[in-house]
Amino acid sequence: MSELAANTTATIIPTLRYKDAPAALEWLCKAFGFEKSLVVPDESGGIAHAQLLFGNGMVMLGSARDDAFGALQAPLNAPDLPVSQSAYIIVADVDVHHARAKSAGAQIVLEPEDQDYGGRLYSCRDIEGNLWNFGSYNPWAPA
């Protein structure tokens, strides 16, 4: 393990841009249990940068903008389009987390199911269609 990895909580942090980042931020906290770490508003009522924590992990998000990074990463044009990436988040109780997300309006695309490789998993879409996976399988746990 590198020195950086040994001294850092998370070295891979997914990033997202949302059409309505303030609404998405609040929804992610309500539906998935993220906690706000840093929220920097922009001058137009959006979010310039936000950091949300979950356990020892983090996601960063911001409002969609017409800038250099916005030309590379943008929100989905429709909430039901296929995605090229998604996050996997380890949760203690998949069924309890699934119920929380569903009650907040998450679109469940794969119901909770035991996996052949271990653990339990479900997948859902957030309010703008991003795909999220929540499971109990922890690849870091001792066998």
pLDDT at 26: 98
pLDDT category at 140 given cuts 50, 70, 90 is: confident
Burial class (CB in 10 A: 0-12, 13-18, 19+), 110: exposed
**Same domain as 69, residue 125:** no
Residue 118, in any domain of the structure: yes
pLDDT category at 7 given cuts 50, 70, 90 is: low
Counted domains in the chain: 2
pLDDT at 141: 87
Residue 37, in any domain of the structure: yes
pLDDT at 67: 95
CATH number (domain holding residue 123): 3.30.720.110
pLDDT in tens, 78-133: 999 999 999 999 999 999 999 999 999 999 999 999 999 999 999 999 999 999 99
Listed range (4-13, 58-67, 89-98) with the worst mean pLDDT: 4-13
Measuring CA to CA, which residue among 80, 131, 121 is closest to residue 97? 121
Q: What is the mean pLDDT of the chain?
A: 93
Identify residue 16 by its one-letter amino acid code: L
pLDDT at 10 over 90: no
Calculate mean pLDDT across residues 62-80.
95
Domain limits at 25? 1-74
